[in-house]
Amino acid sequence: MKVLVSDKMGEAGLEIFENQEGIELDVKTGLTPDELKEIIGQYDALAIRSATKVTKEILEAATNLKVIARAGIGLDNVDIDEATIKGVAVMNTPGGNTVTTAEHAIAMMMALTRNIPRGTQSMKQGKWDKKLLQGREISNKTYGVIGFGNIGSIAANLAKGLRMKVVVFDPNISSEHIEKAGFNYVTLDELYAQSDYITIHVPKMDATIDLLDAEAFAKMKDGVMVINCARGGIINESALYDAIQSGKVAGAALDVFSTEPPGEHPLLTLDQVIATPHLGASTKEAQTNVAVAAANQIIAYLLHDTVINAVNVPSVTGEVLKQLKPFLYLAEKMGKMQAQITKGGVKEVDIEYIGKFPDLDLKPITIAGIKELLAQFVQHEVNSVNAISLANEMGIKISESTSKEAGNFLNLIRITIVTQEATNILEGTIFGKDDARIVRINKFRLEVIPEGHLSLIHNVDKPGSIGSMGTTLGKHNINISRMMVGREEDGQRNIIFLRTDTPIPSEVVKEIEELELVIRMTTFEL
């Protein structure tokens, strides 16, 4: 089996490849896309970091490729959808650099607070700006953590060790779990109002792009300091610049930018800003850890058919996968849907298998549903291998049960989500061999194909309600490709599922929600 390492990788990882019988290693770093495309067809595995871009064109040329392993967390440089289509497993190494990244956030906070970069520059210029560079203590200051995942929880513990008051906001983790860990759970607005320092540890997604914008800065304490070692784009950089210029924000420490490298950036002209070139995971220990993990993953996959930390395939082997595939697909769609229609931090997930299922371990189906549920709000590291353990770390209780009585269906999967705000029940089934359908949401019975741009509308069951929605969508040139209406059991409401050719913008959603007979509308992607 031939393995190509196309980015600089820790020596410990290379030694594992070199010492493994049955593995032939080539290390070729700094390849252009055309050079990589020309040779990639020779290899069974590709080990990368962040420099190599594994595009659709590269994957089309990778005729023998079986696995891609990223020595690190982020997979922004891999076309995962295309890799899945090509049957290429994509793996990352989520645990190797969490401590390193959390430590970098704390280091950035300390350097910013005590003006260490400016002081160093001043000294090298022969100056002694002692009064000009006066800092402040962090002891007893309030440290606001946005995102309590693996990295955020470590940063919170480090700050607590520095005798800081730590408050945490994470809409996807229960307040009980955060408080059990020894921290105060607050709303986002409360975090803004209380924090002397705000540090970001959330993934970059639609819901978090420009999370810290002008409106958010206006809610913060005067003199707040902001640290971002997560992803560029979560902070609106223009709004941050204005907030620093106005004095609202006393300083910012940035390891990431919307565009990297940022070039001549306005923020880099400000004395109140310190920056590093995306060094959060750049320590010797972290690079050794991820290199070793990536090498072991590739060897396990190529030589033993063992899947470790794959983000696009479940942890099952070929023959079993064929039997479970329709149910894995259905569970993934149900988990993804639940994540988008359910509000509040998830406390419990109950998965019931009712009726006739393959006489196999159903755990991969449960994992598939949990994986897609968590993938909507957890950064990169959630996959088929660690989904359950990650849910446990988040304080989510998971239960499974089986029953032979399926009622109106040959087989039925019921996923019940309990949050701090609501309980949602979703039921799905397989028609024929592999046609997935959603057949129930809470009290409503219906039949929905779980794919595309979807909208869920609760409305009063009176004449004219559907027509008014269609008129509004037509006015905005949004075409309805499919519609399904379900009536509440013994109720006065309908639930309408719409599939549209294009996504429905938020302003159109607001306009529909203002219609007389509409109660609320939720849009989501499957």
Structure tokens at 368: 């598939």
- Cα 78 from Cα 88, distance rounded (Å): 11
Record the tokens describing residue 250, joined without a space. Answer: 């006393």
Which residue out of 260, 451, 516, 525 is catalytically annotated?
Answer: 260
In angstroms, rounded to a whole number, what is the distance separating the alpha carbons of residues 138 and 144?
13
Rg of the chain on CA atoms, in Å: 25
| DSSP per position, 54-100 | B-HHHHHH-TT--EEEESSS--TTB-HHHHHHTT-EEE--TTSSHHH
- Spatial CA neighbour of 50 closest among 28, 72, 65: 72
Known catalytic residue at 278: yes
CA distance 15 to 291: 10
Q: Has 487 been annotated as catalytic?
A: no
Minimal CA–CA distance to 90: which of 107, 73, 112?
Answer: 73
Q: Which helix (H) or strand (E) holds 445?
A: strand 444-448
- Among 199, 211, 233, 288, CA closest to 76: 233
Q: Distance between CA 422 and CA 4 in Å, rounded?
A: 49
Catalytic member of 49, 104, 201, 231: 231
On whether the CB atoms of residues 371 and 384 are closer than 8 A, the answer is yes
Find, among 352, 358, 336, the residue nearest to 407 by Cα.
352
| Residue 445 falls in the annotated catalytic set | no
Query: Pick the catalytic residue: 49, 278, 380, 499?
Result: 278
Contact, 363 vs 387, CB < 8 A? no
Pairing of the two strands 142-146 and 435-441 = unpaired
CB contact burial 475-490 (16+ within 10 A = b; e otherwise): eeebeeeebebbeeee
Contact 42, 15 (CB under 8 A): no
SS3 state of residue 412: strand
Q: By C-alpha distance, which of 89, 92, 93, 44 is closest to 314? A: 89
The catalytic site residues sit at 231, 260, 278
